[in-house]
Copies of this chain bind each other. A is one copy, B any other.
């Protein structure tokens, strides 16, 4: 049957015989680039003598990097140099002194999983295209559900905690009134949801994106530690009812972004139960504490939630992005809410059990196999290895707190519950100043100056922010297993050093 046509076939001026790529040269390029990645990124990941960043201002960096895309391609040699430059001027988020965000560090197993998926380039929607990755996702979701404490459930990996929160908000709305899927929100009473003042900003983004409107997010007061006050929630729900609006959802936070506070889930669940409201817990940051027998009490009551957002790419180091939305319902609510039944993708007359084609639970079409990196890491470390990470991060945070208390000039904002250590550094010139507006104004300007100096020096990276009436303070987040007590000491020493003339 097989026809052999040796002659070149020309269609529309294009020769169609054989491939157009030189795969041997391509493979060699990949090998050479991998060598650079190995030497310049991976092997330097825990070398504290390296800089965290090689700071260049935007205009300078534009001149250094040859950004322009041209008509003709560049040589492999030039491209490898470009790769070197990209690495050199990128922030080393795996550096032991990168404390700037809620992720950090390097996990070798997750990294391998990510290399595998990049090479295989799968999309997770149907079993026929992603058999392994769909089974892995199912397994990981089951396991995460076990740690939440549900007997059963459902879930989906998606691109970020913000998107998880959107999923939950829409799901709660669908549960509240399934007709909204077809009819939309016009002509409906005003839907109202509740979340704390300390919640992640994605709540507002979600309310706006979903057509609910940011004004219909009722922010509940928090106590001095940043925890939602249940009595205030009760009041606001009653207020909403009196207004004639339709409360449908409470979003509690387990691990707030700035302070690392955990809302009292059990008490909030009582209120949700009483009023028939969906309880979503944004545990994007704090969810990882569920892995630790010592610290899981922070999320006491989470099993009563209807949905949970949990990002293993944060404290567990699974790599950006690795985010799950988990749902207690196991009757197919997620699918009913999200399915569009595309006939070209989700054919019902396939030769295998199409219940494995889980892509129709997603707002995406193509979707990355993010569960896989968490899975391989978990296989490698075991639950005890993951637990050790959480325990160590929190012990390091504890150590830092005690050191801060001992040192002159350092002042804690509050006793942390989690890995967010928030503190001011009061430089020598301000230490004798009287408390008052001028003091706070001056203190407000300190953190940005220290930040600029540390960036330009490249010695570490640490975030600061003003927050709810408090002037700029540092937020130190401890995550990476490469981080040690010595790095905590360094951090404090370095702040003193950078600010000694202030």
A57 and B352 form a contact (CB under 8 A): yes
Indicate whether A73 sits within 8 Å of B380 (C-beta atoms), given known contacts A42-B119, A139-B67, A210-B209.
yes
Residues on B with C-beta less than 8 A from A55 are 131
Q: How far is the CA of A366 from the CA of B91 in the complex (A)?
A: 15
Q: Is A489 an interface residue (CB 8 A)?
A: yes
| Partner-contacting stretch, out of A265-273, A391-399, A435-443 | A391-399
A17, chain B: closest CB distance, angstroms: 6
Q: Can you give 22 contacting A-B residue pairs, CB < 8 Å?
A: A12-B394, A16-B392, A16-B485, A17-B484, A29-B112, A33-B115, A33-B116, A58-B135, A65-B135, A71-B382, A72-B385, A74-B380, A79-B379, A90-B130, A90-B132, A94-B121, A160-B365, A160-B366, A166-B363, A184-B212, A209-B363, A347-B464
Indicate whether A93 sits within 8 Å of B108 (C-beta atoms), given known contacts A17-B484, A385-B73.
no
Indicate whether A2 sits within 8 Å of B132 (C-beta atoms), given known contacts A109-B79, A115-B37, A185-B186.
no
- Counting every copy of the chain, the complex holds 2
Residues on B with C-beta less than 8 A from A209 are 166, 170, 209-210, 363
Q: Is A149 an interface residue (CB 8 A)?
A: no
Mark interface residues in A2-13 (1 if CB within 8 Å of B CB, else 0): 110100010111
Residues A6-54 near B (CB distance < 8 A): 9, 11-14, 16-21, 23, 26-27, 29-31, 33-34, 37-38, 41-43, 45-46, 53
Q: How far is the CA of A160 from the CA of B90 in the complex (A)?
A: 25
Interface size class of A (residues with CB under 8 A): 35 or more
Q: Is A388 an interface residue (CB 8 A)?
A: yes
Q: Is A136 an interface residue (CB 8 A)?
A: yes
A215 and B162 form a contact (CB under 8 A): no
| Partner-contacting stretch, out of A95-103, A220-228, A300-308, A424-432 | A95-103
* Given contact pairs A100-B128, A159-B364, A184-B211, a sample of 11 additional A-B residue pairs in the complex whose CB atoms are under 8 Å apart: A13-B395, A16-B484, A17-B485, A17-B486, A20-B481, A23-B46, A30-B42, A91-B130, A123-B320, A210-B211, A351-B455
Q: Is A410 an interface residue (CB 8 A)?
A: no
Mark interface residues in A79-98 (1 if CB within 8 Å of B CB, else 0): 10011011101111110100
